[in-house]
Structures are given as structure tokens and as C-alpha cells.
Structure 1
Amino acid sequence: MTVHFVGAGPGAPDLITVRGQRLVRECPVVVYAGALVPTELIAQAAPGARLVDTADLDLDAIVAVLAEADAAGQDVARLQSGDLSIYSACAEQMRRLDELGIDYELVPGVPAFAAAAASLRRELTVPTVGQSVVLTRIARRATAMPPTETLAAFAATRALIVLHLATQAIDEVVAELTPGYGPDCPAAVVAYASRPDEVVLRGTLADIAGQVHEAGLRRTAVILVGDVLAADGFPDSHLYSPHRERHA
């Protein structure tokens, strides 16, 4: 028996890997993260599959479901929103499974920041403008941030910054980033990326908070700040340069 942790993508039911979709269709147990996973994807589960919504379950209850499936010899498709590598809360689940001796694998998915970049029709790394992307969040009511990982410290790099789980604190975010990036720095907020109700806001640090408040956004969104969001006139990538050394 194996627990297959599957990145279910940002919300569009077809933004999932072929492997992930196959597991949803084949596993006798499908455990999913509530409304964060599209119902159209859950509907693809095999007839008679056990469907478990974890929206109201704590970690102990979730692990109990996985352990029960293991005892019955049933594979589990454990669907998590976005990609498993960031903010998926998979680490503590895997730690529990390690302690119980239950086998598992990870199947990556499309992360929210990638879906947001697609909605903005932007590459997040642009030659000579920006070659680094900072993926972070703020503490607020969530787990505390490491003391060295502050918005001010990241702003000093002027790299593109992408904030998850921070839209409800947009005023605080703008206040902390503006000294480093400047009020005219391009900014964007993408909510419900890839879904029918997607909302895309574009502006600068000077006006993005007002747009967020006007749109009534508080969650399920990412904030992006950096010069690459409005980059133009940059040189072509060295990848396509006629002067680049090519190997047979």
C-alpha cells in the first residue's frame, strides 16, 4: 500500500499531471483538501472509492484515515492544492507516516505562483532585470517566520517577491516592501488563479492595496512585487543567442 501525495494544482481541474489524474481515478481511497481541490477532479474517482474531505479534520484524524487504508491494503490518493514543495503541510504528514512505517510518494503539481504568472502573461525571470524569485509569506496568525526571513530583508535584494497567504494583510505588506522597492515598483495580485472566478489586479505598490480592498480580496491569492512585472526592452536570453557555444 502507498499514500500518493498529489499536487492537485491551483484550481482548474485540468491543471494536474497525467500521473496525478491516473491516481485519482485508480486509488480506492481519495483524501482531499476540501474546497481547495476542484469538485470536477474529485468526480473522476473510481466508482465506490472512499472520498474523505479533510477540511474539518486535524492532523491526527487525517493520519488515522491514512493508517486505516494502510491496514486494509488500500492505496490512497492524498490531494493537496497547488504543489507539494511549498506551503502544502505535507512535511508533518510524511513525518507521521515515517513513524508508522507507511510507504508514500510525492507527485508534484502546478503551484499557485506559476498559475498567477500565466494569468499575468509574464515570465518571472527576465534577462538583466531579474533572475531570482523569492517565495514567502508573513506570519500573522500562522506559524511564526524564522527571524532572518523578513520582508525588509527580501526587499533589499529587489528580486521579484511572491507572497502567499498574505492578501488579508496587504497594507502591512505594502508598508514593509515600499522602502526597499519604492512606491512605483510594479505589483500584482492574482486571486483564484486558473479558476472561472479568477481576479487579476495590476498596479504599483502605491495603489495595489486600494485595489485589493476595492475588490474585497482576503484569501486564495498571491501578491507579486518586482520590476520584471513590467519589464520591456530587455536583451534576448543568451539561450537563443547566435553567439552561444553549441554542443552536438
Structure 2
Amino acid sequence: MIYFVGAGPGDVDLITVKGRRLLETADVVIYAGSLVWDAHLRFCKPECERYDSAGMTLEAVLDIMAQAEAAGRMTVRLHTGDPTIYGAIGEQMAALDQRGILYDIVPGVSSFTASCAAVKREFTVPNVSQTIIVTRLEGRTPVPPLESLESLAAHRCSLAIFLSVQDIENVVVKLKSGYGRDDVPVAVIYKATWPEQQIVRGTLADIAEHVRAAGIKNFAQILVGDFLNAHGERSLLYHPDFSHGFRQN
């Protein structure tokens, strides 16, 4: 069996209990060394074979998986954050399907939720935003035209933008166009939950300047929206005048 395991955003204790147990018992671990904190590897058994996929091709990764499977060994494919978000696991699963190799996915804490926790805010604030959009700026990997930052920002909900801080000026231009204003709060979180975590705050009017001054060029999450400055009104869920299936007035 191949297990695609989400390592979480950085902090080794933010992997799931199931993910940690699989890591402890794996015979082979293939991890994205450029993104996954190698402190996770100290939980592997000494005889576990470890492969850093940062410099590998898809074919090389699949060959290791197939060889381990043929030998009856269990493999963990350790991905950063949650493997279902920008994890490039679709192509791996398709190839494993073709080879008749079984696999499973163990979800993880994504950097976009870890980043929101780092700034101590809630994406979904009553009467402010009840929608979260997870997206990225187009680059070498294209984005469908209907998912441009301008069109998504026009919804004026909470945005979590991956893989885009290296072009923060372009991000800002597109967001200003979509929001129709430049006073929208922005937080840029570099390496959320890592020891070197850094948080830069501002608005669309000045965030690009702050990011450049901080020297942040990669490994950062961009959070955008009025939720960053709002605690909102009291929710109905715990209001004494609100009844539901588990509590009656």
C-alpha cells in the first residue's frame, strides 16, 4: 500500500496521529525535501529508506513506489500541508491506478488554515464573510480564465492565495481591480508554524512594499479580506435565544 500523507504546514506536531503512525512504521518514505521539514524523518525507524523527491521526476518517484510494492514494503509519500491542495498527487494516483497499485490519502493541516491561526483570526465571520476562496496567481502553471484573481476578488470574501508572493505587485494590482478599493486588509505569513515564521500585515495599498522590505520571496501564504480586521457580531450558535437540535430555549 502507498499512503499519501499530509505532513502539515511545518510544525512536526501538526501532522495527524494517523500520519505520524504511518511514518513510524513505513519501510520507505518519499518526501518533498524543499517543503517538508526534515524533522519529521526522526520519527522513522532506522532501517526505513528515505528519498528526497525535490530533485526527482514523477517517473523516478513511481519507480521507487513500484519497487517497494513489489517487495511487499509499505511506502509513505510525505507531502507538505494537505496533499489534496496543490499537491500534484493526481498524476501519481493516475499512474498507480494504471499499475494496479493500491493507495490511500491521509489529509493534513493546510498552510492556509495554519496561517489564519497564526494571525489569530477566523475566515468565516458573520456579516463579513461566509466564503473562503483558495487560489493562486497564474504563472508557469496556468489558471483558468474564469478563476483570475480579479474575478475571484470581486466576490469580496476571504481569500487564501498560494504560490504567489514572488509576484506580490501583480497580485496587488489584480486584487485592487477585483475589490474596487485599496484599503482591504492583507496578511502575508512566511513559513507558518516553522521556527522562522514571519508575519507581515498591511493593506492592498502598502503590502507589496512591506513584503519586499521583509525580503519574503517564497514559502508564504497571502490572506486577504475584511475578516482580518473583524471579529464580527455574536454568532447564533451559542446565543441563548437561538434553539437548535441540541439545545432548546
TM-score (norm: length of structure 1):
0.96
Aligned counterpart in structure 2 of residue 161 of structure 1, from 159, 162, 175: 159
Q: What is the distance in 1 between the residues matched to 2:84 and 2:116?
A: 18
Matches within 5 A, 1:164-179: 164-179=162-177
1:164 CA drift (Å) = 0.2
Q: What is the distance in 1 between the residues matched to 2:39 and 2:137?
A: 32
SS of aligned partner of 1:94: helix
SS of aligned partner of 1:77: strand
Question: Aligned pairs, how many?
Answer: 245
Asked if 1 retains the 8 angstrom alpha-carbon contact of 2:149 and 2:178, the reply is no
1:14-33 CA-partner distances (Å, limit 9, x unpaired): 11000000011001111111
Q: What is the distance in 2 between the residues matched to 1:26 and 1:223?
A: 36
Aligned counterpart in structure 1 of residue 245 of structure 2, from 234, 244, 247: 247
The corresponding residue for 2:99 is 100
Asked if 1 retains the 8 angstrom alpha-carbon contact of 2:190 and 2:221, the reply is yes
Let me know the Cα RMSD of the aligned residues.
Answer: 1.0
The corresponding residue for 1:151 is 149
Letter in 2 for 1:215: A
1:54-86 CA-partner distances (Å, limit 9, x unpaired): 011010111111011111111101100000221
Percent identical among aligned pairs is 44
Letter in 2 for 1:86: I
Q: What is the distance in 1 between the residues matched to 2:34 and 2:12?
A: 12
Structure 1 unmatched runs, 5+: none
SS of aligned partner of 1:200: strand
1:246 CA drift (Å) = 2.6
SS of aligned partner of 1:134: strand
TM-score (norm: length of structure 2):
0.96
1:110-158 CA-partner distances (Å, limit 9, x unpaired): 00001101110001110110010110001212x2111211111111100
Q: What is the distance in 1 between the residues matched to 2:153 and 2:37?
A: 35
